[in-house]
Amino acid sequence: MKTMQAYRFALDLTPSQERAVLAHAGAARVAHNWALARVKAVMDQRAAERSYGVADADLTPAVGWSLPALRKAWNRAKVDVAPWWAECSKEAFNTGLDALARALKNWADSRAGKRAGRPVGFPRFKSRRRSTPSVRFTTGAIRVEADRKHVVLPRLGRLKTHESTRKLARRVEAGAARILSATVRRDGGRWYVSFTCEVQRADRVPTRPFSTVGVDVGVTHLAVLSTGELVPNPRHLDTAGRRMRRLARRMSRRVGPDRRTGQRPSNRWERARRQMTRAHARVANLRRDGLHKLTTRLARQYGTVVVEDLNVAGMLRNRRLARRIADAGFAELRRQLAYKTGWNGGRFVVADRWYPSSKTCSGCGAVKTKLALSERTYTCTSCGLVLDRDLNAARNLAALAAEVDTAGSGPAAGRGADRKTRHGGPVAVKRQPGPAKTGKAGTAPPQGRAA
């Protein structure tokens, strides 16, 4: 099975190498801002001419914002705009132009109704201080050295890695992986290189291919499995909260930057900022490590994994739970399960967003009209079942997999419930065999859109 996979390694750069990488990232930012200013100037000019009553045929000619068009315009103007252009790789400028081309396309598609989700705003100029330094290489010498401690990138040369690259090197040497591109990025005060590869993965079978597990995510417990297992929520952000507050107070007592007066930050403020950045990076790394271990174990063990289609964006509007919901990483857990089940030969099922997994009795199928969030124990008035609320929801999710045919047309499933749960007494959930209710092209019905 061929798939796209990324391998990320931390780098140990020398001061001269870090300056070279920052120069390439700055070149990408310059190309992005120049092209954006050019496109915006023409759009503003055409809008002004329309306001004066100029006919469309007489307006200032529009400029193309596809990547080839932006690249041609940059090549014509780079001698005047950036006389130092020869000092950086062409891939640096291509990085900024490609980012702008994709941003403009997303904005145009969003305005035309061709892009689902939230409205996409018009691209903004990149700031040297606020933007994340990044540069992407797609051509040239991109390889992992045989000593598995160095990588080679165009114009940057041989860079030492902080960790061994054996995971990628073994696949490349065996012909099971082909490197397509490499991206150097600074994250949390450290530089990383990410290789995007086309990998030939061996076909695998889960340890229990015919077993099904329902996963109900939450704040009290990160995940409750239908098997009865409770996965604790580590709450890394709460654990590091005391240190972060102390570092924030330390930053506030020192002289920071001021854009109004042009004041530059002091060295002590920069040192405190780096400490704060590393603290946030540690929390993110701990969260990512825990989610990877959990999702890998579930994907390798169970043949079918069922999760809910949660409206995480809506849940984050709850000011009392937003911080802990964001710290748990619901969306990341679902994203990792989606591709890891495919890698391990399993099946990934997403319940409909309005499927009442918490309100439905896992014993008799009766559905409650209302169930307050404070009620942590589910009590069925029909059959007398008393069960933990999250465990009851996980069992309902596991039973829902019976509605989806193994050769179904898509991962979404559910009974297509409305926004409101209608009370009709002991109503059993549909468990008929066959494909689930789907919309066009095997996608979920409109009420089950992904978060």
Which residue in the list 216, 309, 327, 403 is annotated as catalytic? 216
* pLDDT in the model for residue 421: 52
- The answer to whether residue 358 scores a pLDDT higher than 60 is yes
- The answer to whether residue 450 scores a pLDDT higher than 80 is no
Which residue in the list 91, 98, 390, 403 is annotated as catalytic? 390
Nearest CA to 183 out of 195, 201, 198, 171 is that of 195
Answer with the residue of higher pLDDT: 310 or 410: 310
CA 134 to chain centre: 17
Range from 86-90, 214-218, 375-379 carrying the lowest mean pLDDT: 375-379
Active site annotation includes 173:
no
Rounded to whole angstroms, how far apart are CA atoms 445 and 196?
33
Rounded to whole angstroms, how far apart are CA atoms 75 and 72?
5
Distances (CA, A) of 34 to 73, 81, 83, 97, 109: 10, 8, 14, 9, 23
Q: What is the pLDDT of residues 314-352, one digit of tens each?
A: 888 888 889 999 999 999 999 999 999 999 999 999 998
Query: Which two structure tokens, joined as six digits, stand for 311?
Result: 């409206």
Query: Which two structure tokens, joined as six digits, stand for 212?
Result: 């099904």
Active site annotation includes 58:
no
HSE toward the beta carbon, residue 415, CA cutoff 13 A = 21
Q: What is the pLDDT of residues 89-114, one digit of tens each?
A: 999 999 999 999 999 999 999 999 99
* pLDDT in the model for residue 183: 97
Backbone angles phi, psi at 210, to 5 degrees: -100, 10
Task: Give the amino acid at 168.
Answer: L
Question: What's the chain's average pLDDT?
Answer: 87
% of the chain surpassing 70 pLDDT:
89
Q: Report pTM.
A: 0.82
Rounded to whole angstroms, how far apart are CA atoms 163 and 285?
15
Q: What is the pLDDT of residues 210-241, one digit of tens each?
A: 999 999 999 999 999 999 999 999 999 999 99
Query: Which two structure tokens, joined as six digits, stand for 182?
Result: 């490499």
Contact at 8 Å (CB) between 244 and 276? yes
- The answer to whether residue 242 scores a pLDDT higher than 60 is yes
Q: What is the pLDDT of residues 31-63, one digit of tens each?
A: 999 999 999 999 999 999 999 998 988 889 999
- The answer to whether residue 416 scores a pLDDT higher than 70 is no
Confidence of residue 363 (pLDDT cuts 50, 70, 90): confident
Which residue in the list 91, 308, 327, 403 is annotated as catalytic? 308
- How many CB atoms are located within 10 Å of the residue 394 CB? 31
Active site annotation includes 216:
yes
Rounded to whole angstroms, how far apart are CA atoms 190 and 10?
7
- The answer to whether residue 291 scores a pLDDT higher than 50 is yes
- The answer to whether residue 182 scores a pLDDT higher than 80 is yes
- The answer to whether residue 432 scores a pLDDT higher than 60 is no
Q: What is the pLDDT of residues 140-174, one digit of tens each?
A: 999 999 999 999 999 999 999 999 999 999 999 99
Confidence of residue 311 (pLDDT cuts 50, 70, 90): confident
